[in-house]
Amino acid sequence: MDIQVRAGDDMGRAIRSVRTARGLTQVEAAEMAAIEPSYLSKIEQGRTVSLLEHELRILRRLGATVTVTFETDG
């Protein structure tokens, strides 16, 4: 699975895609990440502003493209 990340909400969509592809609920994934399910929900919906958003903005303005590649099982 290859997902281009240009903003924080892209990362949220990537997290949701990987989570659902692995058949995990938000509760299960949140437990694995040691965060609250409600926070994971906000991340997946792109409703949090984080350091990542600022880092991505800097990279974009410098002309970089960030691509996140996830290993697939099998």
Q: Which domains does the chain have, with CATH numbers?
A: 2-69 (1.10.260.40)
Report the pLDDT value the prediction gives residue 38, as an integer from 0 to 100: 94
pTM: predicted TM-score of the whole model, two decimal places: 0.72
Q: Which residues of 41-50 are buried (b: 16+ CB within 10 A; e: fewer)?
A: bebbebebee
**pLDDT of residue 74 exceeding 60:** no
Cβ atoms of 4 and 67 within 8 Å: the answer is yes
Q: How far apart are CA 6 and CA 46, in angstroms?
A: 12
Length of the chain: 74
How much is the pLDDT for 29? 95
Overall average pLDDT of the 42-69 stretch = 81
Query: Do β-strands 66-69 and 2-5 pair in parallel, antiparallel, or remain unpaired?
Result: antiparallel
